[in-house]
Amino acid sequence: MRAMVVEQWGGPENLVEREMERPEPGLNEVLVRVHAAGVNPVDWKTRASGALITWGEVPVVGWDVSGTVEAVGPGVGIFRPGDEVFGMPLFPRQAGAYAQYVVAPARHLAPKPALLTHVEAAALPLAALTAWQALVDTAHLRPGERVLVHAAAGGVGHLAVQIAKARGAHVTGTASAGKHDLVRELGADEVVDYRTTRFEDVVSDMDVVLDSLGGETAERSLKVLRPGGRLITLPGPDDVPATHDGVRAAWILVEPDHHALRNITTLVHQGRLKPIVHASLPLTQAATAHTIGEQGHTTGKIVLTNT
């Protein structure tokens, strides 16, 4: 099979196409023919340094997949060959989604939402699971609560806005002025232009803040929380600020989650959740996809396709 391999840690130019042996599914595993692979910040961050991830013998980045089950290993009862599936297998271990085939534990995947193309489905798993696990599982977001979503037009942000709205929350998002209309279309009740306004000057009494930026943004976010409020930060444990006034802060690292993927699919089928695809590129242009993503101006997600 073809795969995009990291020849050495560093820049996007180190992503090169190589022929590899097609993997075979073991106990409770399925072999998936990858039709599309989502691109996430963790992809280019690990390509640059190799940090965080437990790598296999040959480094192949990527976790978001949408494709068709090619074969099933012993013990698998929920899928059969020909089923369309999507998911984020094995994270934070190497999954190798930038390839023609991926082997994954069956319950790290779920049936692909029928309303979505493979490209759209591949844009969902890591970002949507991050938003779901942060807002629903960790913050325990309740109807009527007030939520601030930073980078509301980004990969995680644009899905978090929709998930929070579907949970009955009042949603405020931060985004550049050119993206305000889009963020409102996604369901945000209010939008703040972070380039011209310090959000803490105009936002207050939040129950939950979802911070995908870290650093001083996490520190400043504490100021907008009411007593008892919750800050969920995503970049890393070092970005969790010291708390005060009864607020709490937590860092989460997304996990594979069959049940949450099914809940996300339900929102898709209800018309409450739709991924935005910023760009779709052939797998062989993975380096270009990383270059675009590292510029930090994408709306929604970048996806690689296999033909």
CATH, residue 51: 3.90.180.10
- Residue 63, exposed/middle/buried by CB under 10 A (0-12, 13-18, 19+)? buried
Q: Which residues, in sequence order, are CB contacts of 19 under 8 Å at separation 6+?
A: 1, 2, 3
Residue 270, domain member (yes or no): no
Tens digits of residue pLDDT in 130-170: 999 999 999 999 999 999 999 999 999 999 999 999 999 99
Distance CA(193)–CA(45), nearest Å, equals 27
Clarify whether residues 61 and 131 are in a common domain.
Answer: no
Q: What is the mean pLDDT of residues 244-255?
A: 90
Clarify whether residues 225 and 152 are in a common domain.
Answer: yes
pLDDT of residue 53: 78
pLDDT of residue 93: 94
Residue 202, domain member (yes or no): yes
Clarify whether residues 152 and 204 are in a common domain.
Answer: yes
Q: What is the mean pLDDT of residues 113-138?
A: 98
Clarify whether residues 117 and 200 are in a common domain.
Answer: no
Distance CA(23)–CA(87), nearest Å, equals 18
Structure tokens at 159: 């899905």
Structure tokens at 144: 């009527």
Clarify whether residues 102 and 28 are in a common domain.
Answer: yes
Clarify whether residues 16 and 97 are in a common domain.
Answer: yes
Residue 297, domain member (yes or no): yes
H or E element that contains 248: strand 248-251
Clarify whether residues 285 and 228 are in a common domain.
Answer: no
Clarify whether residues 80 and 106 are in a common domain.
Answer: yes
- Of 20-34, 177-191, 238-252, the range with the lowest mean pLDDT is 238-252
DSSP state of 93: B
Instruction: Assess contact for 208 and 229: CB atoms under 8 A.
Output: yes
- Torsion angle of the four alpha carbons 76, 82, 86, 92, in this order, in degrees rounded to the nearest 10: 50
Q: Identify the band that residue 51 occupies on the pLDDT scale cut at 50, 70 and 90.
A: confident
Distances (CA, A) of 10 to 14, 146, 193, 248, 259: 7, 41, 33, 36, 36
Residue 263, domain member (yes or no): no
pLDDT of residue 307: 76
Structure tokens at 198: 């310090």
Clarify whether residues 82 and 148 are in a common domain.
Answer: no
Residue 259, domain member (yes or no): no
Clarify whether residues 155 and 238 are in a common domain.
Answer: yes
Residue 176, domain member (yes or no): yes
For residue 245, the SS3 value is: coil
Closest CA to 61 of 71, 69, 51, 70: 51
Helices first, then strands: H and E counts in the chain: 9, 15
Tens digits of residue pLDDT in 182-229: 999 999 999 999 999 999 999 999 999 999 998 899 999 999 999 999
Q: What is the mean pLDDT of residues 48-68?
A: 90
Residue 236, domain member (yes or no): yes
Instruction: Assess contact for 122 and 155: CB atoms under 8 A.
Output: no
Task: Dump the DSSP string for 96-137.
Answer: --SBSEEEEEGGGEEEPPTTS-HHHHHTSHHHHHHHHIIIII
Q: Identify the band that residue 245 occupies on the pLDDT scale cut at 50, 70 and 90.
A: confident
Clarify whether residues 132 and 58 are in a common domain.
Answer: no
pLDDT of residue 23: 96
pLDDT of residue 65: 98
Maximum pairwise Cα distance, the chain: 58
Count of Cβ atoms closer than 10 Å to residue 165 Cβ: 18
Q: Identify the band that residue 82 occupies on the pLDDT scale cut at 50, 70 and 90.
A: very high
Residue 40, domain member (yes or no): yes
Can you state the percent helix, strand and coil of the chain, rounding each to 5? 30, 30, 40
Clarify whether residues 105 and 200 are in a common domain.
Answer: no
Position 289 pLDDT exceeds 80: yes
CATH number (domain holding residue 161) = 3.40.50.720
Amino acid (one-letter) located at 100: Q
Strand partners, 16: 5
Instruction: Assess contact for 84 and 112: CB atoms under 8 A.
Output: yes
Residue numbers of the domain that contains 28 = 2-124+275-305
Structure tokens at 197: 């306004």
Q: Identify the domain boundary among 211, 236, 251.
A: 251
Between 236 and 142, where is the model more confident? 142
pLDDT of residue 117: 98
Position 304 pLDDT exceeds 80: yes
Give me the number of domains the chain comprises. 2
